[in-house]
């Protein structure tokens, strides 16, 4: 019987003393479960399924037979004891080898420590010599660095003074430019304000001239209406005189003269009214309002000429 094939493990059961305590019912149950999993019909694409199922069947045949199972348990127990003894011998051998290795390691460590102490002493001497050389070199480098820093500080100070002078010149140029721009803006603003004042003045003068022209026109129309009313009144007086002459025949000559005088006066008034209505410009020029209108128009012309000079400047 081969003990290297553990039938308990093949059925998925605990081995050793725990396996010997299992009942036939538990073994059969485990076999059925495994048989369902490893049956070739369940694994048609596995080439090892038949061999595994046959091995499962062989293990179950051994374990369900009491004599075969007893022999297997005894052989498994003896194999376990042999394995235990073998493991103990291996453990003792490993422990002995480990002790020898530790002794060798301690000896090697001692030699290594001695070499390390010698090397450390030599290294300390080398470090001391190197430190002395390094201190000397560091001292030389420190002096050189200090001299270099002194030169750099002097150069930096010179550069800073040069930069300060350049910044001062730049600020002066910027201030001069700002003053020039301010002066230019002030002049532009002054020209704009003067232009605006001139435009406002021209607009005001034009408005005043328009008002004056409208007032003159209204006065001329009122005077024409007044003269027309006077002519109408003269006509009424002439008619009244004629009526009086017709009523009082004995005063015909006086009435006739009065009618003739009234008729002449009415014709003069009518002619004057026609002349005033047809030639309003001439009446304006002969009146004080026309003189005032001429003055306003002259002022408006002067304002327009001033505005044109400002635009060209």
Residue 119 lies in a domain: no
Check if the beta carbon of residue 244 is closer than 8 Å to that of residue 227. Answer: no
Residue 298 lies in a domain: no
Between 112 and 1, where is the model more confident?
112
Q: What is the pLDDT of residue 258?
A: 62
DSSP 249: G
pLDDT digits (tens, 9 = 90+) for 121-178: 888 888 988 988 899 899 899 999 999 999 999 899 989 999 999 998 999 899 999 9
Number of domains in the chain: 2
- How much of the chain, in percent, has pLDDT values that exceed 70? 83
Domain that holds residue 69: 7-100
Q: How far is CA 131 from the centre of its chain?
A: 59
Q: What is the pLDDT of residue 239?
A: 84
Q: Is the pLDDT of residue 288 over 70?
A: no
Check if the beta carbon of residue 217 is closer than 8 Å to that of residue 280. Answer: yes
Name the band, by pLDDT with cuts 50, 70 and 90, for residue 253. Answer: low
Name the band, by pLDDT with cuts 50, 70 and 90, for residue 285. Answer: very low
Q: What is the CATH number of the domain that holds 38?
A: 1.10.287.110
pLDDT digits (tens, 9 = 90+) for 184-238: 999 999 899 988 898 888 889 888 878 888 888 898 889 889 888 887 887 888 7
Residue 271 lies in a domain: no
Between 194 and 261, where is the model more confident?
194
pLDDT digits (tens, 9 = 90+) for 10-34: 999 998 888 888 999 999 999 999 9
Residue 116 lies in a domain: no
Residue 48 lies in a domain: yes
Q: Which two tokens stand for residue 300?
A: 């408006």
Residue 248 lies in a domain: yes
Check if the beta carbon of residue 7 is closer than 8 Å to that of residue 59. Answer: yes
Q: Which two tokens stand for residue 258?
A: 């009065």
Q: What is the pLDDT of residue 295?
A: 75
Query: Dmax over Cα atoms in the chain, in whole Å?
Result: 199
Of 58, 77, 100, the one marking the end of a domain is 100
Range 94-102 average pLDDT? 84
Of 71, 100, 129, the one marking the end of a domain is 100
250/281 Cα distance (integer angstroms): 49
Residue 232 lies in a domain: yes
**pTM of this prediction?**
0.31
Residue 170 lies in a domain: no
Q: Is the pLDDT of residue 50 over 60?
A: yes
Of 55, 84, 100, the one marking the end of a domain is 100
């Amino acid at each position: 019987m081969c003990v290297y094939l553990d039938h308990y493990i093949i059925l998925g059961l605990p081995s050793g003393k725990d396996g010997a305590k299992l009942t036939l019912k538990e073994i059969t149950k485990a076999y059925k479960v495994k048989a369902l999993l490893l049956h070739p019909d369940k694994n048609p694409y596995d080439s090892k399924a038949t061999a595994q199922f046959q091995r499962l069947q062989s293990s179950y045949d051994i374990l369900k037979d009491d004599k075969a199972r007893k022999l297997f348990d005894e052989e498994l127990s003896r194999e376990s004891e042999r394995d235990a003894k073998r493991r103990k011998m291996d453990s003792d051998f490993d422990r002995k080898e480990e002790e020898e290795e530790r002794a060798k390691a301690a000896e090697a460590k001692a030699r290594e420590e001695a070499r390390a102490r010698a090397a450390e002493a030599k290294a300390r001497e080398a470090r001391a010599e190197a430190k002395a050389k390094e201190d000397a070199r560091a001292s030389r480098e420190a002096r050189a660095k200090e001299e270099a820093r002194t030169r750099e500080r002097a150069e930096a100070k010179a550069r800073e003074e040069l930069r300060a002078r350049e910044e001062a010149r730049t600020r002066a140029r910027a201030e001069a430019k700002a003053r020039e721009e301010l002066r230019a803006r002030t002049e532009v603003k002054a020209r704009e304000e003067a232009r605006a004042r001139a435009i406002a003045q021209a607009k005001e003068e034009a408005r005043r001239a328009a008002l004056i022209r409208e007032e003159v026109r209204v006065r001329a129309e009122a005077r024409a209406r007044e003269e027309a009313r006077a002519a109408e009144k003269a006509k009424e007086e002439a008619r009244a005189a004629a009526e009086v002459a017709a009523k009082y025949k004995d005063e015909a000559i006086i009435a006739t003269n009065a009618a003739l005088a009234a008729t002449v006066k009415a014709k003069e008034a009518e002619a004057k009214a026609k002349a005033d209505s047809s030639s309003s410009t001439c009446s304006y020029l002969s009146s004080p309002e026309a003189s005032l209108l001429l003055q306003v128009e002259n002022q408006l012309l002067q304002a327009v000429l001033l505005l044109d000079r400002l635009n060209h400047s």
